[in-house]
Amino acid sequence: MHWPVWNVLAGLSVSPPSWQSIDSRPLPPWYDQAKFGIFIHWGVFSVPSFGSEWFWYYWQKEKLKPYVEFMERNYPPGFTYADFAPMFSASFFDAAEWADVLSASGAKYIVLTSKHHEGNGLFNTPALDPLPKWSNPPKMERIGSRLA
């Protein structure tokens, strides 16, 4: 099964950040019939394997006790969120396996969040990375072509 891959994944188009711009693009006709899709959130926040994609926010901004205590128990003092980035290697990523599992699920579409609010992306581009020490795993460069 092949899922649609939009320009957003490849970063081929830029739209103005406005409701008018959003409203100018109707949903594709198949969307209302699809009924079941999967959204994948995978990134640097996956490294600590604690919480969700909001890990940084809950740990650093909200300072929620479970997140602060998790970091104190598992990482040295002074460890930062950016220190997780080199650990996100995608070394076990297998696009064919993902495609098999997703296809078997019955999903009619998938959306891979290629850039999260903390700024790190699943593909290399100078527009994404807020910190120089962040580097995207080389295997992720192929993700668009493997899922298309």
Q: What is the pLDDT of residues 7-39, one digit of tens each?
A: 344 445 677 778 888 888 888 888 889 989 999
Domain boundaries, the chain: 37-147
pLDDT per residue as tens digits for the range 46-93 = 999 999 889 999 999 999 999 999 999 999 999 999 888 888 888 888
pLDDT at 131: 54
Pick the closest to residue 71 from 95, 90, 55, 93 (CA basis).
55
CA distances from 64 to 47, 57, 59, 108 (A): 18, 9, 6, 37
**2-6, 9-13, 19-23, 138-142 — which is least confidently predicted?**
2-6
Give 1-69 as a DSSP string.
Answer: ------HHHHT-----SSHHHHHTSPPPTTHHHH--EEEE--SGGGTTTSS-TTHHIIIIIS--HHHHH
Count CA atoms closer than 13 A to 120's CA, side-chain side. 27
- Give 125: exposed, middle or buried? Use CB within 10 Å, 0-12, 13-18, 19+: exposed
Q: Which helix (H) or strand (E) holds 80?
A: none
Pick the closest to residue 84 from 15, 133, 139, 25 (CA basis).
133
pLDDT band for position 99 (50/70/90)?
confident
The predicted model gives 101-106 an average pLDDT of 94
